[in-house]
Chain A
Amino acid sequence: MADVSFTVDGKKLTAPAGTLLIDACRAHGIEIPAFCYYPGLSLQAACRMCVVRQEKVPKLQTACTTPVAEGLVFTTESPEIAQARKATIELLLGNHPLDCPVCDAGGECELQDMTFRYGAHESKYVEIKQHREEQQWSPVVFFDRPRCILCYRCVRMCGEGMDVWALGIQNRGAGAVIAPNKQDHLECEECGQCIDVCPVGALTSGTYRYKTRPWEMNHVSTVCAHCGDGCKTTLGLKRADDGMEIVRGDNRDKSGINGDFLCIKGRYAFDYSNREDRLTKPLVRQANGELAPVSWEEALEFAGKKLREIRDAKGGRAIGVIGSNRTTNEEAYLLQKFARSVLGTNNIDHHRTADYATFAAALKGNADREASLRDFAAAPAILLLGGDPTEEHPGLAWQLRSDVRLNQARLYVVNHELIKLRRQAKAFLEISQDGYADLVSFLSGNGGALSSNEKAASFREDLLKEESVLIVFGPEYRGKDIEALVKFGMGFPKAKFAILGDYANSRGAADMGLFPDLLPGYVPVTAAGTFAEEYGEALPAAPGLDLVEMFDAAGAGDLAALYVVGSNPVSRYGVDASALKNVFLVVQDMFLTETAKLADVVFPAANLYEKAGTVTNTFGDIQLVKKAADRAGVRSDFELIVRLADRMGADVKKLVPFGRGGVRADFGQTRGAQSGEADRHQVWLTAHHIELKASPFDPFAIFDEVQRLVPAYDIPRMDLLTGNDQHIKTELVQIENTGSRRDLVLPSKDTLFTSGTLGKYSAMLHSVMESHTRKTAETAAD
């Protein structure tokens, strides 16, 4: 809409006509307090905190419901307004307990801040406060009724934002109270958004309550370790006996591609990291067949020596490597480099959750055709094929719901199940489970591909009217089906695509070449020229064994050693333990998983919250992960790979090009006129989150190399380091024919409350699953 000019506190401002005054003011740095107003949710106008004086209007107006128009004149701060706000706070404090010293929200409470600002320190109300005991509504949601100021944010967030509608208001007047949908407990998606938006401490979180004070935590903004959406999460950390413990996850600063959204996993399921039974010592299988803790020296020496012997005796072909969906890009890259240049094998693979290689091939050479998760926030039309984002990609589901609600986006959903997102869909088409390929054929114009029905025809008609569509598809599409789908999508004047894979860095694992036949950037192993040059080694030229073949080879006695990094293939693929009997198995993991139990050497590894590096979400958004938590005894997978390579006699400097390219660290030993310069430089680097590449354990030394060798990852570094997501340059992926590749995609089919092996070790997810069977409202309230 056209811009209008208006005056606020004597300043001339402009904003599009119809903008709410509160938004317009905030955009210009004029703060108007509000409890009930929340951007993106419907207006409530319940709290009366945002009152302002509008010229020629007899009474104070609420800024949250006043649209700006040409020539209006407002005053936002005056003794009169301060008095009004003070009176509001006084009323709110009438029954609000003053238990701020123990309240979770104390220190980050909006009511506290406003009381401080307007000084409602005395009260006319002398009545005894009505106390009510706090209630536990679910393993993660607690409700403390007297603290509630009835802003209705939680009710709207749950209904409008999450489409769960599990919170309501009951009774009226002074008796009004927030109520859960099952009278004394909640049956919901347990996202915790209600707790997050609560301006006071009325809703508190099961994981965080009474654990610490807000100002006593360190806050580190990193990326969630669970699904493939790559949501930003700010972890609150507290010192523990053996490191730094995570006590809270949220995204109140709304940084990142997820805005303020986090699902249950991002918000609560970090607890695996704090578990007591985490591995903190290396284990080596003893003569008696038992795994026993040994020193790092002994374990590394043993593993390194043994791997070297096997490589030298039987060659790299007898060694297999399985990478992770949850290590950083640098670690995945380093692992394949280690496999190919040190172990001398192409037998490397990972648990594939989507066919990224074919997708990359299908999009090859087309700039700006892959959708970032950001694009979903404002896309005019979206086609969702397969998958169930509500369960598997909660961040994406949030974006889709918000886009439909706030931008009236048109969502087209095709699925073989009645997924919940159909409630936001303009059109929903149910097809059979094996009908996804036929569907593309049908949409492309082959009318006979789907058994004819009018619904499908009108679905196609509506869809084809769209100019610009985001096409997002689940793991139902692989190989040739992806090619056909992309070909169909290219028919739209403007279309972007997104593929849904499962874990925090599944995309990175694929992009970084954890494949037996593809190097980083999907370069075929048969064309390893630049890589061999950079590595200074001849790399094995023939494609290696894939994950399934490796276990077949192990069963047949052709595999002598297997190196598993952050993966649990024994559980995931149901591998028979006897197949690995004669295989020298080295496992790096957080826990003694089903795979680790069979290992000869187990290294205790750090998780994604305990290391730095980059990860790529399934949409191709590269983000920085920062070291947040810390656990004594564990080491990052990066460090473990380097140390293992060192023990195998490899040139570590070749593996991790640290210190190369003129980086010279000066740790302050310099004396003379410039003494201290280095220290100051170090401070500057630290302040900018740049570590000196002075150590072989520095992931950024490897990221340099990744950027040199993988053009798609050649993104602006400074932007990445400041915490912004950067989309990979899909058009720069050089990939040849992939049609003949074996389909090894195994979607993990995780739900909101599971997260593969990580989920198994999250007590919070377990308690939520046990506490209730989840059911959502049949239809949204009309």
Chain B
Amino acid sequence: MKLDHFFQKGFLSLLFDISTSISMLLCVCLTFATAKSNAHTTVSAAELSLNPENRYKVSGTIRDYQTKEPLSSVSVHVKELKKGATTDKNGFYSFALPEGTHTFVVSSIGYKTQTTRISIGAVTKRDFILEVDTLVMKEIVVEERVLFKEKKDENVTRTIMGVEKLSMGEIKKMPALMGEVDVIKAIQLLPGVQPTSEGSSGFSVRGGSADQNLILLDQSTVYNAGHMFGFFSVFNNDVVDKVQLYKGDLPMMHGGRLSSLLDVQLKEDYKGKLRGNGGLGLISSRLMLEGSLGEKNSWLISGRRSYADLFLKLSSDKSMRESSIYFYDLNAKMTHRFSPFDKLSMNLYMGNDNFGSSVARFSYGNKVGSLNWKHIYHERLYSNLSLHLTDYHFLLQSELENAKAKWVSNITDLTVRWDFVRSINSDLVLSYGVTSTLHRFNPGLITQPDYDDFKMPVNNTLEHSLYLSAEQEVTDKLTMRYGLRWGIFQNMGSATIYTYDKNYEAVDSTTYGGGKIYNTYHALEPRVGVVYKLTDQSSIKANYTRNTQFIQLANNSSSGSPLDLWFPANPNIKPQAMDMVSAGYFHNFNREAIEASVEIYYKKMSHLIDFADHAQLMLNRKLDGEIRVGNGKAYGVELMIRKNTGALTGFINYTLSRSERTIPEINKGKSYLSPFDKTHSVNVSVSYALSKKWNFSAAWVYSTGNPTSYPTGRFEVEGEYFPIYSGRNEYRRTDYHRLDLSVNYVPKHNTKRFWTGEWNFSLYNAYGHKNPWIITYDQDTPTGIPEANMTYLFGVVPSITYNFTF
């Protein structure tokens, strides 16, 4: 049956059409959800240097006017001396100043800047209270950096390259598909990042595939970040604080993926009266509440659920009432402070998608939980010990008469990690740690009432790492980051490993007993980065990084699917590796208001995995026989200009790139383009605050069409035509472009009100460009000659959302 026939609202779509769900209550009872706080304090180097003669230490805490919360990353600048400091996690700043009267300029994104003249004559303590700058919306960026000092000029000074940061305030202003603010869709606007297909939560970083991205929700792995076959992401924007994407050069504490790390950080613990926010949208509604319990405890709980199906509960059609289609997310977080030096937090996330009817059910989702203990030994040393549990599962069940079956599959990880950060002196910060993960892969257990169970073997593996990294200011102008990560990967019995002949037919097998380690891989990953400051506003950077990937997805579809089957390296499959070098020039203008950068990269991948033509990836005990291994390379240039302050904010970027693979048994050994190769890509995202009430945003996306294969010939069998291809990915689809618009309207703008509401109106694909999603062929034509059909997913999609804060 051809898929395009289902697109029409014909019979088969009705089979699974929207309707009621009865499981909502159950789900709510069952769960709570996640996220782990990655909690490290930045020990400011400035804090550690105390005053020599006739210099006085000035210090204090900077708090939010309304919440009284300490504010981190606030810049305290002394105008006359062109000297400054940044507040740490506890809102604390400190520096030494000569005697005299100085002008203090205290500023932070989202707050009104304060300018005060202060005379310094003795040890001075000076606190500040900052008021939210309503013009820039309520964008309180509670920055907390893991290893590296976060500064306003980090575009120029940061030693890691290829890092992209978006704050939730920025993301919320971007126009969103069906009004669902989505962090993954937002990062797809960044240079070097592309969606794997239209509307997908899968993304490709610098030409890599979607499974080469490590996605962390407060440091816990999330295996599948998509709802509704990927059209929405699992991250509820109410609880996300900010997202950072590392495009290959990963912080040393992380590894295990070739292309990128997407670090999604949830809101920090909040101490204050109960408050919340939420929203009503076309797709889903959300509510987030947070508060504290006594002085030492804080909590957060948040939920989101799609609800189109609830309306169809009223349908007169019985089959409609019996079916369901919905997703939900639950996040919960609890924090307890034992002492000023110890914080224990627990994070939970649970999300699920459900498609059901009287004859079938399909559901999938993530469960993530973590427990973290952050301890500050002294101002120069702190650690974070954490335990993480992650599970992704799917279930497919048929209740069709004479075809009843149920397929359950999941991947579960149990991880322990202990990370340390130590400041040796103001010029040298070390970070080191150890991690250990048990992965359990369960590709499938199928139960059928009339037949024996069909069980795919469960695989267990261990993945450990040890790392040491140093960030060192060698001179005023030169900063270096260097380190080594040692990854160890072990396959554990019980298992049966087949050996294959040159035609990939299994010829022999070896069985290993339960618990026996029968294969070990070691991987050394050096990573080095250098920043040389040309001026205070500009720098050049270079780096080298090596990443190794031990587990990957058995999926070769272009858009990904919820049927995620991960499989590990083993004696037949070597770990994939990537070496990347990159260099760039970075320049800030107008006191960091405008950031510009040019980055160039080249990466080489070895033992790169692709799959045989027509590979059988599901429920295949001899999956190794479907794998083809070769090399890949990718290179490109990324240009980015970004404006962070003022009424008009946003960015524009351009990427020129290429990504290709060479695998002996694929495409007759000739190199072929990665399915995610895009020669040119332009993204523009702008937001304009017209007044306190009105904010306008637009995003425009352009990219070269995806590589694909078009048939160059046809052969006939029994009166039907079948395609012949000259090679893989030799053609491209037409170019992709799209404009999205949105307007944000706040009817009553007053931060002191109990309730603040705002309306968001958006248009996705505003000029209705028909971007091809799939190309199909139909030979049931009047002439009998095949025709090509293009399916596009979206016309102009308008939406409206109401958001509120209290």
- A and B: partners? no
A-binding residues in B (CB < 8 A): none
